[in-house]
Chain A
Amino acid sequence: MAKTVEGLYYSESHEWVKVEGNVAIVGITDFAQHAMGDLSYVDMPEVDDEVEAGEEFGAVESVKAASDLFSPVSGVVVEINEALEDAPELLNEDAFANWIMKVEMNDPSQLEALMDAAAYEAMCANQ
């Protein structure tokens, strides 16, 4: 069973969100990295890019396939995790310790549409 972390928000497309003030820190879940297998590339947005809730903002790639990433919230990218450019495998090693982007949210109420850990685990159990 893939692990989850309490206190985070989760999307149906397997991203997690940690909230610090008005900034959403976004990554992919352990379930997602496990389903993808060994990751060889992370396609990240650029700082100052605008992202929209539910819209694609990048992708993670394994040997076999590319999987789009969907932003759980709308806002402006304020930082990306540059360590992933050379070491995408960090997401396999610990998907929750290694975030992908930080977004300055322009509508924090969008968080209410996301799941908590228990709800997300229940969804994964059915997949």
Chain B
Amino acid sequence: MEENLLKTCLYDKHVALGALMSPFGGFIMPIQYTNITDEHNAVRQRAGMFDVSHMGEIYVSGPDAEKFVNHVFSNDIAGMEDGKILYGMMLYPNGTTVDDLLVYKEFEPNNYLLVVNASNIAKDYEWLCAQAEGYDVKVDNQSDDWGQIALQGPEAEKYALEVLGLAEAAGLGFYTYYRTSDMVVSRTGYTGEDGFEIYASHAVINEMWDKLLAAGVVPCGLGCRDTLRFEAGLPLYGHELSDEITPLEAGLGMFAKVKTKEEFIGRDALVAQKEAGLTRKSVGIELQDKAIPRAGYPVEVDGVQVGVVTTGYRSISTDRSVCVALVDTAYTELGTQVEIRIRKKVFPGIVTKRRFYETNYKK
């Protein structure tokens, strides 16, 4: 089993740093180097870096590229400017989610970079190839060729400029990117803080990692990547989104353009779901107690299950026990009293927004 796990180009660095390594999305990845709380706080207060080389990079190019990407993607890329990035989903015809992803409009016509979740690379590639019939496009999975570092936190820009010498990073707007001869630098992330995601060859990524580490940027594992994205209200595929959950149910309808786009896979199902009314929705829940709601725990009202937790933690930034849960629509109004069953006991909670931490993006 373990022998089949893939290693990123930074694997040796993680082992040398003494990281706790664990399987994730088919890769053997660092969960933490010291502890999740310290790494989480480093990103909130200063700067941290993540090896996210496990993420997938799939290029779509050719005369029909715009038409094709808009066919498979829930957000609207029509007329997208070079250097812009859009978040959205690929959906099945029934409206549930193949994956959530970023689409980068390349600096040449008819060329898009799709950045997808590690655990879904093979599935997404096959899905794209299967849908591409009848379109004049090339679908090229380049995931093995790219490494990626996410440099995140209020001091991320300082390190990008002073340590990596990325002069253009200073003026880069949120969800835009630029490209040099050997890297892609985008103002994106998965932490709720300002920061960059940098894509490059394995060799260049290794050089950057060493420079940032020597400069004092804290190496951060997937443990705090999850606590950070969770507090910021960002979904994780397999939890808040899945092949059983639509973007409308996940509260991500703004990324599925059913009104402005006439066609994309899954659109008809979303329209029908909207017309019929959602039966369940993703909400935040805050507990009074210190007990921690975890993925899979039942949400109850009067002893009857009305939902299920999709992610939960003792929030490191707010020191509150909070979770995101998929709940019957009748119980999704802000302030609704619910209970969460944690092992043998039930704990009272109230419905809140799904974001537990005020994000600090560069606008």
Task: Give the B-binding residues of A (Cβ under 8 A).
Answer: 37-38, 40-41, 43, 56, 58-59, 61-66, 68, 85
Instruction: Kindly list the 6 A-B residue pairs having the minimum CB-CB distance in the complex, ordered from nearest.
Output: A63-B36, A40-B314, A41-B290, A61-B292, A41-B292, A38-B35
Which residues of B have CB within 8 Å of A66? 292, 294, 343
B37, A63: Cβ atoms under 8 Å? yes
Q: B321 — which chain A residues lie within 8 A by C-beta?
A: 41
A41/B223 contact (C-beta < 8 A), A56-B343, A61-B292, A63-B36 known = no
Tally chain B residues at the interface, Cβ within 8 Å. 18
Mind listing 28 A-B residue pairs with CB under 8 Å? A37-B32, A37-B35, A37-B36, A38-B37, A40-B290, A40-B292, A41-B290, A41-B291, A41-B292, A41-B314, A43-B291, A59-B343, A61-B291, A61-B292, A61-B314, A62-B36, A63-B35, A63-B36, A63-B223, A63-B227, A63-B313, A63-B314, A63-B316, A64-B31, A64-B223, A66-B294, A66-B343, A85-B290
Bound complex: CA of A41 vs CA of B312, how far in Å?
14
B154-174 residues with Cβ-Cβ distance < 8 A to A are none
A58 to B344, CA, bound (A): 9
> Quick check: is B101 within 8 A (CB to CB) of the other chain?
no
Contacts of B118 in A (CB 8 A): none
Assuming the contacts A63-B37, A64-B223, asked whether A43 and B343 have C-beta atoms less than 8 A apart, the reply is yes
1/0 contact trace for B31-63 toward A, CB 8 Å? 110011100000000000000000000000000
Q: Is B342 located at the chain interface by the 8 A CB criterion? A: yes
- With a cutoff of 8 Å between Cβ atoms, the chain A residues found around residue B37 in the complex are 38, 63
**How many angstroms between the C-alpha atoms of A56 and B342 in the bound complex?**
13
Main secondary structure of the interface of B (DSSP, over half): mixed
A65-B32 Cα distance, complex, nearest whole Å: 14
Which chain A residues border B227 with CB–CB below 8 Å?
63
Per-residue 0/1 for B268-291: is the Cβ within 8 Å of any A Cβ (1 yes, 0 no)? 000000000000000000000011
The distance from the CB of B44 to the nearest CB of chain A, in whole angstroms, is: 14
What residues of B have a CB within 8 angstroms of the CB of A40 in the complex? 290, 292, 314
Q: In whole angstroms, how far apart are the Cα atoms of A79 and B48 in the complex?
A: 44
Look across to chain A and name the residue whose beta carbon is closest to the beta carbon of B32: A37
Known: A43-B342, A66-B294. 14 other contacts (CB 8 A): A38-B35, A38-B36, A40-B290, A40-B292, A61-B291, A61-B314, A62-B36, A63-B227, A63-B314, A63-B316, A64-B36, A65-B294, A66-B343, A68-B343
Q: Which of B210-262 contact A (CB under 8 A)?
A: 223, 227
- A65 and B314 CA atoms in complex are apart in Å by 11
Query: Across the two chains, which residue of chain B brings its CB closest to A86?
Result: B290
Complex Cα distance, B36 from A59, in Å, reads 20
Could you tell me the distance between the alpha carbons of A115 and B239 in the complex, rounded to whole angstroms? Answer: 40
User: In angstroms, how far is the closest chain B Cβ from the Cβ of A28?
Assistant: 16
Bound complex: CA A65 to CA B292 (Å) = 9
Chain B residues, Cβ within 8 Å of A56? 343
Distance, CA A66 to CA B323, complexed state (A): 15
In the bound complex, what is the Cα–Cα distance between A37 and B290 (angstroms)?
A: 17
Complex CA distance for A40 and B313, rounded to whole angstroms: 10
Nearest CB of B to A44, in Å:
11
| CA distance in complex: A62, B90 (Å) | 34
Q: Find chain B residues with CB under 8 A from A64 CB.
A: 31, 36, 223
| A68 to chain B: closest residue by CB | B343
Least CB distance from B126 to A in Å reads 32
Residues of chain A within 8 A of B290, CB atoms compared? 40-41, 85
Q: Chain B CB within 10 Å — which of A41, A43, A62, A64 has the most?
A: A64
B318 to chain A, nearest CB (A): 13
Q: Chain B contacts of A62 at CB under 8 A?
A: 36
CB distance from A84 to the nearest CB of B (A): 10
User: For residue A56, which residue of chain B has the nearest CB?
Assistant: B343
User: B37's closest neighbor in chain A, by CB?
Assistant: A38
A68 to chain B, nearest CB (A): 8
CB of B297, distance to nearest CB on chain A (Å): 10
Complex interface: chain A residues within 8 A of B36 (CB)? 37-38, 62-64
Specify which of B227, B290, B345 lies most central, judged by the most chain A CB atoms within 10 Å of its CB.
Answer: B290
Determine the distance from Cα of A65 to Cα of B313 in the docked complex, in whole angstroms: 9
User: What is the bound-complex CA distance between A59 and B32, given in angstroms?
Assistant: 22
Name the residue on A nearest B316 (C-beta): A63
Taken together as a complex, chains A and B put the C-alpha atoms of A95 and B233 apart, in Å, by 35
By a CB distance below 8 angstroms, the chain B residues around A41 are 290-292, 314, 321
Q: Report chain B residues within 8 Å CB of A37.
A: 32, 35-36
B237 to chain A, nearest CB (A): 19
